[in-house]
């Protein structure tokens, strides 16, 4: 008796995390177009969206991955039975969109753990203040537990530009030399988020940012960096030693604003 041919092995992932992440971000954005609409109006579009999303997940994670399984589970969100009413089908459509949204966000979060840590330019010539801003924002985004910013000359753009969208669960400490009145006013408003404190010390002469266990040293004050003079950002290998130095300064500094 002839043997049955063995089933082909499941398709492994063959896209990079970067490519998969970019494609799934587009699918997540496209999903928003379905919200609040009648399922019949977008039925054709949704089917096309599902085919493409499944292909992206298969290329990015593999045919038998949990991500593909979660996609198939999301397809059947809601309650299903024979002779369903239009209202029930519409409710299932809404639940399906939310399930797809959660599935995509979970997959994107997983991919972000696979992505290489972003590289910093390191040196910034006069006029490269946007590149400097971009890299400081990247450093701020590395924090998942605590952010400690030391800068002897700060202004309100620290809040308006750099830390405005930091998750309130992340503790933020700011240590500076001199707290101008406007800085204190804006800091007090920002402090309503919780997990925030601003302190002042005449012993602060340098610039550094601690994001969790990493330390970055900055050549110029954040507010003026690369505007009129060149500057730099360097990741310091002695993060523990640097942190102990600035933690000691913090303990003797004057608390100006606290959540």
Q: What is the topology classification, in CATH, of domain 123-258?
A: Endonuclease; Chain A (3.30.870)
Q: Give tens-digit pLDDT for 48-67.
A: 999 999 999 999 999 999 99
Over 60: is that where the pLDDT of 121 sits?
Answer: no
CA-to-CA distance for 247 and 236, rounded, in angstroms?
A: 16
- Spell out the domain ranges in the chain: 17-114, 123-258
Q: Give tens-digit pLDDT for 220-248.
A: 888 888 888 899 999 888 888 899 999 99
Q: Would you state the pLDDT for residue 237?
A: 80
- The sheet carrying 171-176 orders its strands as 123-124, 231-236, 214-218, 207-211, 146-151, 171-176, 196-200, 254-258
């Amino acid at each position: 008796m002839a043997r049955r041919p063995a089933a082909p092995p499941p398709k492994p992932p063959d896209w990079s995390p970067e490519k998969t992440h970019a494609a799934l971000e587009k699918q997540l954005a496209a999903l928003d177009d379905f919200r609040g609409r009648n399922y019949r109006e977008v039925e054709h579009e949704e089917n096309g969206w599902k085919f493409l999303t499944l292909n992206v997940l298969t290329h990015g994670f593999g045919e038998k991955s949990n991500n593909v399984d979660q996609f198939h589970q999301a397809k059947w969100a809601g309650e299903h039975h024979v002779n369903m009413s239009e209202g029930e089908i519409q409710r299932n459509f809404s639940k399906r969109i939310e399930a797809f949204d959660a599935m995509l966000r979970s997959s994107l979060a997983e991919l972000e753990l696979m992505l290489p840590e972003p590289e910093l330019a390191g040196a910034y010539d006069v006029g490269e203040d946007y590149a400097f801003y971009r890299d400081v924002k990247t450093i701020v985004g590395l924090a998942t537990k605590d952010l400690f910013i030391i800068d002897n000359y700060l202004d309100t753009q620290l809040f308006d530009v750099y830390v405005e969208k930091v998750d309130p669960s992340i503790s933020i400490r700011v240590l500076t030399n001199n707290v101008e009145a406007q800085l204190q006013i804006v800091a007090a408003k920002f402090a309503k988020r919780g997990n925030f404190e601003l302190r002042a010390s005449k012993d602060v002469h340098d610039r550094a940012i601690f994001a969790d266990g990493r330390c970055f040293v900055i050549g110029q004050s954040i507010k003026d960096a690369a505007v009129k003079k060149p500057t730099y950002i360097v990741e310091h290998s002695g993060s523990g030693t640097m942190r102990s130095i600035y933690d000691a300064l913090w303990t003797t500094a004057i608390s100006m604003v606290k959540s």
